[in-house]
Structure 1
Amino acid sequence: MNDAFDRIDPVRAWAATLAGAIIALVVGSLAFPRRVYDGFVWKYFWGPVVADGTGSTCARRVDGETVLLDGASECQRAAGVVAEPGYTTISTVSYALILVFALVGVVFLLQRLDIGSGHGFFFALFPFMLFGGALRTVEDASIALLRAGDPAIPFPWSGLLISPLIYFTVFFVTLAAVLLSVAAARRGPVDRYEYPLAGIGTAALVVTVGYLGWLANTTGLLGFHPIVSIVTLGGATLIAALAWVGTERYAPEVNAGTGYMGVLVVWGHTVDGIANVLSLDWASALGLPTYTPKHVVNSAIVDVTGALQPESVSSAIGTAWPFLFVKVGAALFVVWVFNEEIFEESPRYSMLLLVAVTAVGLGPGTRDFLRATFGI
């Protein structure tokens, strides 16, 4: 039995699993369209994209037809399969499983290219994490303009910027940048692939944020609240610095494996925490639109805090503040888990996993603070 397993090519096994999953979904959707496609694929993946991309409160699927609805009461009374913008427990778990599976595939690619085991790989990919959140904000701006009658990006093209498709969009942009950068390094124009890779990511980020600024300046429908960016980025930098100094002094083993990468992990998740607190608890004080939590964990924390915390305290400081402490604590735990032994045993997979963990916090956090900054 062990000999049989030893003869299995991991790359071919991964590719066969991917092909099998795709075939199962396609065949299942064709053979059982109401149960497989409408009840699973559409409800948890494409339906939320349709509702989000068209600016609808929800979308429903009845007899193979999609109907867009506006208003919470209409959505509650709607028959058939109903999908709302945002995440559910099933979609969140599915994304996590897809992410882990995709990471394995990327590890095989990095092994073939012989890159991705050094810290420089992590730092070079950092701008792409910010770029993903900024790109999602472009879709938010397009939806805001859609409500005024003229979207910046029409649907279904805007669907490429909405979860879960935006993950594939950013992935393929990043993959193209990696391949171009590796080719540039091996053909002589640059010494290391990390430099052009970081440059491409930074350029993509600057262009995307610049486009948001252009929309805010030319359409008159978006706002500009720089205090949100200042507080979010400044607060995250301060907290990450304090976390680094504190752990280096009292628990240096926390940073032993990640080094300065750990600072960016904490910084990225702190950006997410602060952006959520500002958007949910201080929107009216900052003159921002009203926001609601879209993530399952964030929503649960707000609900529990509101139930346990006295109303007078909630009125004074809000109910989202524990999310910041959860994010910082979780980030420090992750940094501690990624010790030297993990990187020695599987450097490429560990590096990619650390990139993914950072992006999970920084991507949504970037989107949240940019939305608030531009009043979207």
Structure 2
Amino acid sequence: MQPTSKKYGKKRKGRWDVIAEMDRRIVLISIAIMAVLFSVFVLILGFLLMPHVFYDQWIWKYYWGPVVADALDHPVSLNGIYAYEGYTVVSEITYGVILVFSLYGIYRLLRRLRIVVDWRFCGALMPYILFGPVGRVLEDTGYFKEPFVYWFISPFIYVQIALYALFFLMIGYYAENISKRRNWDKNCLISIVFLFVFTDVFYIILWFLGWGCFLYVIHPIVFLFLSFLAVIPVLCRWMKHGFLTVNTVLFSGGLLFLFPGLYLVGRWILGFRWGFSSGVRFDVFVVVVGLVSLITCVVYLVARRLGDDSRFAVYMEPLNMSMLFGHLLDGVTSYVSIYDPFNMGLPMYLEKHPASDVLMGIWGPLFPIVKFVLVILIVYVLDVLYREELRHHMVLIGLIKIGVVILGLSPGMRDLLRVTLGV
């Protein structure tokens, strides 16, 4: 009989169990690698033998063509195949599958690093989440020049955001481990600050070289000030506690990208514009955010009133409230910008996503209502119905919730900023 752990009351894994588990992992990894290599081989073979089918009618029509159309703001064609701005059913399914596999890979990484995925972690990711819509709306204003503009069109902008976040996640992980072992060790802090200073120096060099990828270039002094604001959370954390955390470094890294974007958006709102605008509509921003905040507060107050029942108390948790706020923002913004229910004199906007377009085609308010109901159901399933079964998978649950926040807040904020800036 195998010995058991007194603390947990579970059987310890024997040597052969560990070997068998390693063998299974090796087999799964080998299968995944072979599948990827086979897919690449088929694609290359298809491009060589049947380029009109593989590239023109598939890659161009469903993936790359819409990106080019988005950058040029009009339909484009290649060898008689037209592509239009926005998503297609094929591209949405493809990106959804890629997202699922990416989330699984990130889940494995976070488990390995033993990072707690909760509201604090979501807060640390918030600058990256907001950088996405800010970058997209800057692209809508025509701020970026070719070919740099393609890097700020979906899905490539989300690829770069993921790379930035993973980079600062790893930097923060090692900074936390080192600084906790040696409290008040300045070397760790100096290394993080040096990374920000290196970014500033790199930007200054590009500025002096006249790097012309933008219609308006932020002055180096302004960029230095924004960079200093971004590093303040790291400095404050170290001065107060003597060590750094992965969330603090991750948060400051995101601010390094977000602050310049917010600065440019602010200049556009204040009247310094580098492209066409139908007029700044800050009133729409106030109405939408106010309405969404009101609905979210009502849900919170109802949950608090019924808080003695755990089935309702879960709707007071910050991460769940963020999910609700993000998807309400997306739904309400789409409805207001397309149907103009308050007669605010908005220009005509079109919905890019097929699913939401179908729902609003049936009835305008149906899209935000469906989003509201779906988030309520997701929270109920994860935190009430299967709470006990999922309590050993908190990293996965937290990651799923953050993914839900991103899927709502990112497109919602982008659409709201577009209407606000008049582009």
Pair in the same fold by TM > 0.5: yes
Paired residues of 2:67 and 2:154 also in contact (CA < 8 A): yes
Secondary structure of residue in 2 paired with 1:338: helix
Q: Report the counterpart of residue 83 of structure 1 in structure 2.
A: 83
Q: Which moved more, 1:209-218 or 1:326-335?
A: 209-218
String of CA shifts for 1:29-49, please: whole Å, max 9, x gaps. Answer: 333221122221211110000
1:27, distance to aligned residue in structure 2 (A): 3.7
Q: Which moved more, 1:357-366 or 1:118-127?
A: 118-127
Q: Report the counterpart of residue 153 of structure 1 in structure 2.
A: 144
Name the CA shift for 1:4/1:201 in 2 (closer, same or farther; >3 Å): closer
Q: Report the counterpart of residue 335 of structure 1 in structure 2.
A: 379
Letter paired with 1:193: V
1:156, distance to aligned residue in structure 2 (A): 2.5
Q: Which moved more, 1:113-122 or 1:41-50?
A: 113-122
Secondary structure of residue in 2 paired with 1:87: coil
1:293, distance to aligned residue in structure 2 (A): 1.0
Q: Report the counterpart of residue 169 of structure 2 in structure 1.
A: 178
Q: Report the counterpart of residue 297 of structure 1 in structure 2.
A: 355
Question: 2:44 & 2:403 partners in 1: Cα distance?
Answer: 28
Question: 1:248 & 1:24 partners in 2: Cα distance?
Answer: 56
Structure 2 residue aligned with 1:164, among 155, 159, 162?
Answer: 155
Q: Report the counterpart of residue 365 of structure 2 in structure 1.
A: 321
Structure 2 residue aligned with 1:7, among 13, 24, 38?
Answer: 24
Between the two proteins, what is the percent identity of the paired residues? 28
Letter paired with 1:292: L
Is residue 359 of structure 1 aligned with residue 412 of structure 2? Answer: no
Letter paired with 1:113: L
Structure 2 residue aligned with 1:270, among 328, 335, 349?
Answer: 328
Which sections of structure 2, spanning at least 5 residues, go unmatched? 1-16, 180-188, 190-242
Letter paired with 1:44: Y
Paired residues of 2:268 and 2:421 also in contact (CA < 8 A): no
Question: 1:107 & 1:226 partners in 2: Cα distance?
Answer: 39
Question: 2:21 & 2:253 partners in 1: Cα distance?
Answer: 44
Structure 1 residue aligned with 2:291, among 212, 219, 235?
Answer: 235
Name the CA shift for 1:29/1:89 in 2 (closer, same or farther; >3 Å): same
Is residue 247 of structure 1 aligned with residue 303 of structure 2? Answer: yes
Paired residues of 2:315 and 2:321 also in contact (CA < 8 A): no
Secondary structure of residue in 2 paired with 1:219: coil
Structure ID, larger Rg: 2
Letter paired with 1:278: V
Name the CA shift for 1:176/1:19 in 2 (closer, same or farther; >3 Å): farther
Q: CA RMSD in A?
A: 2.7
Q: Report the counterpart of residue 266 of structure 2 in structure 1.
A: 213
Letter paired with 1:360: L
1:279, distance to aligned residue in structure 2 (A): 0.7
Name the CA shift for 1:51/1:35 in 2 (closer, same or farther; >3 Å): same
Question: 2:316 & 2:51 partners in 1: Cα distance?
Answer: 47
Question: 1:258 & 1:91 partners in 2: Cα distance?
Answer: 35
Letter paired with 1:247: A
Q: Report the counterpart of residue 66 of structure 1 in structure 2.
A: none
Paired residues of 1:53 and 1:156 also in contact (CA < 8 A): no
Is residue 36 of structure 1 aligned with residue 27 of structure 2? Answer: no
How many pairs align? 334
Question: 1:154 & 1:283 partners in 2: Cα distance?
Answer: 36
Alignment of 1:133-152 (within 5 A): 133-142=133-142, 152=143
Question: 1:337 & 1:15 partners in 2: Cα distance?
Answer: 34
Name the CA shift for 1:117/1:333 in 2 (closer, same or farther; >3 Å): same
Question: 2:73 & 2:341 partners in 1: Cα distance?
Answer: 21
Letter paired with 2:158: Y
Is residue 224 of structure 1 aligned with residue 280 of structure 2? Answer: yes
Q: Report the counterpart of residue 105 of structure 1 in structure 2.
A: 105
Secondary structure of residue in 1 paired with 2:346: coil
Q: Which moved more, 1:262-271 or 1:219-228?
A: 219-228
String of CA shifts for 1:150-206, please: whole Å, max 9, x gaps. Answer: xx2122321111122122122112222222322332332443211222233344333
Letter paired with 1:159: Y
Secondary structure of residue in 1 paired with 2:295: helix
Which sections of structure 1, spanning at least 5 residues, go unmatched? 63-79, 143-151, 306-319
Question: 1:16 & 1:254 partners in 2: Cα distance?
Answer: 47
